[in-house]
Amino acid sequence: MRLLIDSVMVASPGGFQLQLELAKAAARRRPLGAEISLLIGKGGQAMPPIEGLRIIEVARPGAIVGRFRWFNRDLPRVTRAERADVVYSLTGFVTREMLRSAGVVTTVNNMLPFTPKMIALYPFLSKDRMRSLILRRIYSGAVRRADAVVLHSHHALDRLNQAAGDISAKTRVVLTGTPSAIVFDDANIPAHPRGGKPYFFYLSAMERYKNHLALIDGFRLALRESPGVFPDLVIAGMPSDAGHVRAVRSAIRSLAADDRCLYLPSVARNEIPAYLHHAQANYFPSLCETNSVVQAEILGVRGVMACSDMPPMNEIAGEAALLFNPESPRSIADSMRRLAEDEALRRELRRKAALRARSLSWDECGETIWRMAELAAAAFQMRSKGGAA
């Protein structure tokens, strides 16, 4: 079997990390005699060589018309030229032309279009709201049309079943592993990034659904109620939504002690493990996810985690996090005070993080991809012979 993974549209740091780990896992677990290639866009983040995987660079399509051409003309043409039996679409797009050229497996890594409460955060006629509604239609059609679907949380399956009809029979859910680049043990723990000064840490893209404002409100309450030494709050992430970044900066300035809360627009990739490991707690108050790479990173470095008590955050964390209501600054503040004061709790959460990290497997992801590729290949053979897939 020949498997072609299409990730030409993947551009975000989290998306690149997911693409890299899934490609390595699929190459590592490929069946005897199987071949695998990865399509990436030129000009993006450099992809390291991966044993058993052929990397093909193509020109990255432009917006709207360029994407339409890619999925309806160019990708099917590449699929035939590569004589691929199956295409795995990491970007969640599936067209009828793709289905005419090979079996198709797809995924959806963006639950925002399926969460009306999150869409409502954006102005009525804004570009972001329109984009979310369009993506909802595209992704719903993709999972209906695809021969097989791989998802990375049960929450994602529940959302898509509601939006696109029951796709459970052709879908497998597998949680992703912790980033393989993190090699972390007692012999190589990096230096404390703030010289030993205690801090809470939140690493995420600067998007409205990431819920930074409620986190800052919770920090304000906790700071007001906690005499003596209390951790600072460090927020880090790419400034992707300029309006949201302005609101976050304004909220920080409104603190009675704004020097206790810091926003870092960028943190070097090699510095992130140290920030995650040494934080008194890593906060993840997001309101909408599919499966967060950041949560997996926290587990991988044995970090202390506090996260939203809602799916999929609680599904990914398992028992390795202190849960709170992300819509309640009071709940966030209570969790902060508890984690600041209870060293035994922090030690226990580190221990549970290590256990949870070991239970998550990229190899299982790779095996799942190949099982679903076999299902898609069989469906394509039926179509080719004129049967019903």
> SS3 for 88?
strand
Query: What distance in Å separates the CA atoms of residue 220 and residue 199, rounded to the nearest whole number?
Result: 14
Residue 202 pairs in a beta bridge with 235
75 vs 87: CA distance, rounded Å: 9
| pLDDT given at position 328 | 98
Count CB neighbours of 269 within 10 A: 10
Residues 6+ apart with CB under 8 A from 29: 363, 366, 367, 369, 370
Q: Which of 238, 232, 234, 231 is nearest to 341 (CA)?
A: 231
Q: CA–CA separation, 86 vs 377, rounded Å? A: 6
Helix 293-300 and helix 343-359: axis angle, to 10°? 110
Tens digit of pLDDT at every position of the chain (389 positions): 999 999 998 877 778 888 899 999 999 999 999 999 999 998 877 888 899 999 999 998 888 888 899 999 999 999 999 999 999 999 999 999 999 999 999 999 999 999 999 999 888 888 889 999 999 999 999 999 999 999 999 999 999 999 999 999 999 999 999 987 666 667 778 899 999 999 999 999 999 999 999 999 999 999 999 877 899 999 999 998 999 999 999 999 999 777 899 999 989 888 999 999 999 999 999 999 999 989 999 999 999 999 999 999 999 999 999 999 999 999 999 999 999 999 999 999 999 999 999 999 999 999 999 999 999 999 999 998 875 54
CA trace torsion 111, 291, 149, 22 (10° rounding): 130
Q: Which domains does the chain have, with CATH numbers?
A: 2-177+362-384 (3.40.50.2000), 199-359 (3.40.50.2000)
Instruction: Determine whether 278 is exposed, middle or buried from the number of CB atoms within 10 Å of its CB (0-12, 13-18, 19+).
Output: buried
Which pLDDT score, from 0 to 100, does residue 387 have? 56
The phi and psi torsions of 58 (rounded to 5 degrees) equal -130, 160
**Angle at the Cα of 269 (from 268 to 272), degrees rounded to 5?**
90
pLDDT of residue 389: 46
DSSP assignment of 328-381 equals -HHHHHHHHHHHHH-HHHHHHHHHHHHHHHHH--HHHHHHHHHHHHHHHHHHHH
**DSSP for 154-211?**
HHHHHHHHHHH---GGGEEE------TT----TTSPPPPTTTT--EEEEE----GGG-
pTM across the whole model: 0.92
Give the CA angle between residues 48, 53, 58 to the nearest 5°. 70
> Tokens representing 385?
């012979």
